Amino acid sequence: MVLSSYEGLPEPCAVDADLTAAQIDAMLRTVLELAGPPGVAAGDWVVIKPNIVCCPGLSPQYGPGCVTDLRVVRSLVRWLATRGCGRITIAEGAGGWRSAPADGWTTDWDGAFEGLSYTGIAREWGADLLDLNRAAAVTHRAGGRTFQLARAIRDCDRVISLSPLKTNKGAGVSLAMKNLFGVAPGSVYGFPKFGLHALGPVPALVADVFAFRPDTYAVTGGPWGVEGEGSVPVHHNVLVAGASAVAADAVGAALMGFAPDELEFLRAAARRGLGVTDLRAIEIRGNTVEEARRAFSRPAQWEVVCR
């Protein structure tokens, strides 16, 4: 079950509005309520996996939509904290920066997210930060390949993927499923993880790595995404959420103008029984796909390879 929603946005310019943290919080709470919130119990250990692939000052490709909006992260952490989670961990294994002295954990993102930082969010709500690039790893086998992936992702009670809507030259789009590439440690696969990409075609690897935690809950979208070669900002105020990351990715891709069946990583996930990708079989609440769709420019390299 998934939801695409403009709920809580100012009218009449909802799609292009500059949102406040309060409006984003309203969107998140609405999307969780209507999509069905992540199942968490008192005392559970929840790992939030945002997309922090780059950061200002260290990554030339950084810009609006390249990373998860920290206001969405803070709203989710607050939502979980008020429900008595025993431990909340924000975890990432970025390919574009390394921890300390300047990194995606401590930066204020040049003020892009109303002054928020990951260290500040963690301090405010008693969460902890985990650098997956250096975290303990375990062996995962899928698709005839062997991976080393973060043990914390296996051991926690719930994983929640938070990612913006992004195009990607290897997979077509980068949403909840591909966001789990960050659970592959840089200490094993290098920076920016060319060792992981060398294991096979990106679409197959997306399905392989996702199979490590196929019960991952997905929240994708936010005020900004990126299109084209993955660096052109798109102002698109929309959130998609659901207990099935595969279904959420199918809807997210459709919102971006992609047909789910043209994306090989989604076809691979469906073949393996990891989730449903047929929009006719997915219950969608809130705005319809047609109402929320905004066609993103496609990566030229992916267009060539996929045809």
Distance of CA 28 to the CA centre of its chain: 14
Q: What is the CA radius of gyration of the chain?
A: 17
The DSSP H or E segment spanning 138 is: strand 137-142
| Calpha distance 111→128 (Å, rounded) | 22
Q: pLDDT digit string (tens) for 202-261?
A: 999 999 999 999 999 999 999 999 999 888 999 989 999 999 999 999 999 999 999 999
Ranges of H-type helices in 159-201: 176-179, 186-189, 194-197
Residue spans of the chain under pLDDT 70 = 1-15, 100-101, 303-307
Let me know if 125 is exposed, middle or buried by CB neighbors in 10 A (0-12, 13-18, 19+).
Answer: middle
What is each CA distance from 64 to 122, 134, 227, in whole angstroms? 22, 27, 11
| Tokens standing for residue 140 | 């995962």
pLDDT computed for residue 254 by the predictor: 97
Pairing of strands 217-227, 158-163: parallel
| Calpha distance 208→227 (Å, rounded) | 25
Q: DSSP character for 292?
A: H
Q: DSSP character for 287?
A: B
pLDDT computed for residue 7 by the predictor: 55
Do residues 150 and 189 touch, judged by C-beta distance below 8 A?
no
Do residues 268 and 307 touch, judged by C-beta distance below 8 A?
no
What is each CA distance from 16 to 19, 220, 225, in whole angstroms? 9, 18, 12
Torsions phi, psi for 113 (to 5 deg) = -120, 45
| Calpha distance 174→153 (Å, rounded) | 19
Domains and CATH numbers, the chain: 2-305 (3.40.50)
Q: pLDDT digit string (tens) for 6-25?
A: 555 555 345 678 899 999 99
| Calpha distance 99→97 (Å, rounded) | 7
| Calpha distance 161→9 (Å, rounded) | 23
Which residues sit opposite 138 in a β-bridge? 149
Let me know if 99 is exposed, middle or buried by CB neighbors in 10 A (0-12, 13-18, 19+).
Answer: middle
